[in-house]
Amino acid sequence: MSERVLKNFNKAQIQKPTKPSTNFKIKEKKMIKAQPIDASTPKIILNGITYDYFCGCGYHDLQDSVELRQAVSESLKDKPFKHGSSSYGYGSNPVQKKFTTTASQYFKTETVLTFPSGYMGSTILLRALKEKYDKIFVDEQSHYSMKDALELSKKPVVQFSHLNFSDLLQKIKNHLKPQERPLIASDGVFPMSGAIAPIPDYLETIKNIEGAIICIDDSHGTGVLGKNGRGTYEYFGLNHPNLYYCGTMSKAFGSHGGIIPCTQTFFNEVNKSSYILKGATKIPMPTLAASIKAMEILMSTPTLLKNLWANAIYFKKGFKNLGFDIELSPSAMLCLSSFSNINLKKLFNFYKENHILPRYSHEGSYTSVPKGGGIKFTIFSNHSTSQYDRVLALTKEFLKKNL
């Protein structure tokens, strides 16, 4: 990884203002006054202690950038904060139009659908496509938003084993009747483990089934994977007429709201049929302005994505060398699961004592948490190598004492 590029980028792109205060919610469910600190690498102060910060999903730290804040203030000059209506039948506004143009450029699609939260994306897709499929085959570890979408779809659902395309094939053989059309649903990148779904294998599995559809929740692939940060499908170089995906602006873009990049025809159909788009108030304009700025930054600063992938590989290799079972992928999460009876809770506490803040999750407490629980490190494009080296050195020390 080029430290120089990273430092230059930090100076140019994400100079942090001094001591803005924010509320940071920690696992213990207490609201603790916390503040990002004036540093070029992700750190946070909790109860007066400065931690190296490895939580959340702000993969480029844009939520804390001067540029996004400025975009938000600009958008409030001479304009209302928001329109008090849904998207349906009430026309558009200049910020919304600029958002659509920028996002279409970012994702290289004809247009995009937007809605108040990424959580709604799968529900919107499954409803919009409901005449085009008969049975859903879903990765068992898909996000809660997919699980809710499945229930609302009222279609029969068959789960297949996590990331397992052989099991998908078997389940299709066992459960799909002649003339039925399957919809395969999965996260693109799983939120705790960082595992990337083998979508090319899923496409291969369904290639001879007429009308088969794939729907991907790419909340953690958007702004992270693919040459231009368009997500998992770009990472795999996929272009399939029946591949649909939704994303969020609440993670890598540092903003808020859901997005479905799509064709104009699909946009028109969904706008007419979606209860969410008809019934939910539009995303407020400052939020759209922040998303526009985030996409502009990502498009004009390719080093951001490159640093993120380089950081991911560097950190993952370090843990792999220490004996952890880690896949060397560019997803922006690293999840430690236990090996040789290492007590993960103890390791997490050791990190905290040493002012390092990842996230610990019990088995079953969130989707894609490994068996026995996991410690997740979120990877940022502006973490420094020395932050990773310190974590790795401490982990080595812990293993020496505890193995």
- Binding region for ligand PLP (CB under 6 A): 117-119, 143, 145, 187, 191, 217, 219-220, 248, 250, 258
Cα–Cα dist 42/383, whole Å: 6
H-run or E-run covering 357: strand 356-357
Q: 244 near 125, Cβ under 8 Å? A: yes
Q: What are phi and psi of 111, to 5 degrees?
A: -160, -175
Q: How far is the CB of 170 from ligand PLP (least distance, A)?
A: 25
Task: Give the separation between CA 389 and CA 18, rounded to whole angstroms.
Answer: 26
Q: Provide the minimum distance between the beta carbon of 250 and ligand PLP in the complex, in angstroms, as a whole number.
A: 4
Distance set, CA 363 to CA 80, 193, 360, 367, 375 (Å) = 45, 12, 10, 9, 11
Cα(172)–Cα(10) distance, integer angstroms:
49
Cβ neighbour number for residue 58 with a 10 Å cutoff: 22
Beta carbon nearer to ligand PLP, 6 or 62: 62
Query: Shortest gap between Cβ of 22 and ligand PLP (angstroms)?
Result: 17
The least distance separating ligand PLP from the CB of residue 381, rounded to whole angstroms, comes to 19
Tell me how far, at minimum, the Cβ of 245 lies from ligand PLP, in Å. 11
> Cβ distance 124 to 277 under 8 Å?
yes
Q: Closest separation between CB of residue 217 and ligand PLP, Å?
A: 5
Phi–psi pair at 61, nearest 5 degrees? 60, 25
Residue placing its CB nearer to ligand PLP in the complex, 9 or 137: 137
Instruction: Provide the terminal-to-terminal Cα distance of the chain, rounded to the nearest Å.
Output: 31
Using the minimum distance from each CB to ligand PLP, give the nearer residue, 119 or 137. 119
Is the CB of 279 or the CB of 302 nearer to ligand PLP? 279
The secondary structure element, H or E, covering residue 131 is none
Closest CB to ligand PLP belongs to which residue?
A: 118
User: Which of 52, 218 has the CB closer to ligand PLP?
Assistant: 218
Query: Judged by CB, which is closer to ligand PLP: 119, or 266?
Result: 119
CB of 155 to ligand PLP, least distance (A): 20
Residue (91 or 364) nearer to ligand PLP, CB? 364
